[in-house]
């Protein structure tokens, strides 16, 4: 099963958290698509088409699950777009917010994301949610 990993990549800590999610997925026997690893990072607006084609056209191909890291004051425009795209394509999503609860983050987490994406607060609960999706995919 292929999993698309979404989240901000502006800081080293953001990349590390995404890579920890990647490790968990691989431990569970899943293939992952991690945009900054698999396509690279845009250096300027000239990279936009390459990033879009790599991240979205190729990254979402055969994708069965999206896991989005939602930490920080803002989840990021790209992450929001990816969650909306996944929803439109009927791809299940799981949010991971380790820095505070969704209730505490309500004013800057979109009500749309809160209503459409189950959000967990730690890796133990994330693993449980991933296993639920693996089970659904097999049945």
Residue 52 is assigned to a structural domain of this protein: yes
β-pairing verdict for 119-120 and 93-96: parallel
CATH number, residue 70: 3.40.50.450
**Looking at per-residue confidence, does 11 or 64 come out higher?**
64
Question: How many domains does the structure of the chain reveal?
Answer: 1
Q: Cα-flanking dihedrals φ and ψ of residue 120, to 5°?
A: -110, 160
Pull the structure tokens for residue 51.
């990033």
Give CA separation, 9 vs 20, 37, 42, 133, 134, in Å: 13, 10, 11, 25, 26
Note if the pTM is more than 0.75. Answer: yes
How far is the C-alpha of 108 from the C-alpha of 75, rounded, in Å? 8
Residue 127 is assigned to a structural domain of this protein: no
Residue 48 is assigned to a structural domain of this protein: yes
Q: Cα-flanking dihedrals φ and ψ of residue 94, to 5°?
A: -130, 130
How far is the C-alpha of 136 from the C-alpha of 139, rounded, in Å? 5
Pull the structure tokens for residue 114.
């809160």
pLDDT value for 25: 98
Residue 19 is assigned to a structural domain of this protein: yes
Read out DSSP for 22-35?
HHHHHHTT-EEE-H
Q: Which domain holds residue 64?
A: 2-118
Residue 34 is assigned to a structural domain of this protein: yes
Residue 125 is assigned to a structural domain of this protein: no
pLDDT tens readout for residues 46-100: 999 999 999 999 999 999 999 999 999 888 899 999 999 999 999 999 999 999 9
Residue 74 is assigned to a structural domain of this protein: yes
> Please, how many CA atoms are within 13 Å of residue 131, restricted to the half-sphere of its CB?
9
Residue 72 is assigned to a structural domain of this protein: yes
pLDDT value for 138: 86
């Amino acid at each position: 099963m292929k999993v698309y990993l979404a989240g901000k990549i502006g800081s080293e800590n953001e990349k590390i958290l995404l890579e920890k999610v990647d490790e968990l997925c691989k431990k569970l026997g899943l293939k992952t698509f991690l945009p900054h690893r698999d396509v690279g990072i845009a250096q300027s607006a000239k990279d936009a088409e390459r990033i879009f084609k790599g991240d979205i056209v190729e990254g979402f191909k055969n994708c069965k699950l999206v896991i989005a890291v939602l930490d920080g004051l803002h989840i990021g425009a790209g992450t929001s777009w990816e969650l909306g795209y996944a929803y439109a394509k009927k791809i299940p999503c799981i949010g991971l917010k380790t820095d505070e609860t969704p209730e505490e983050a309500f004013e800057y987490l979109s009500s749309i994301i809160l209503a459409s994406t189950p959000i967990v607060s730690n890796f133990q609960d994330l693993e449980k949610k991933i296993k639920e999706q693996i089970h659904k995919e097999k049945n």
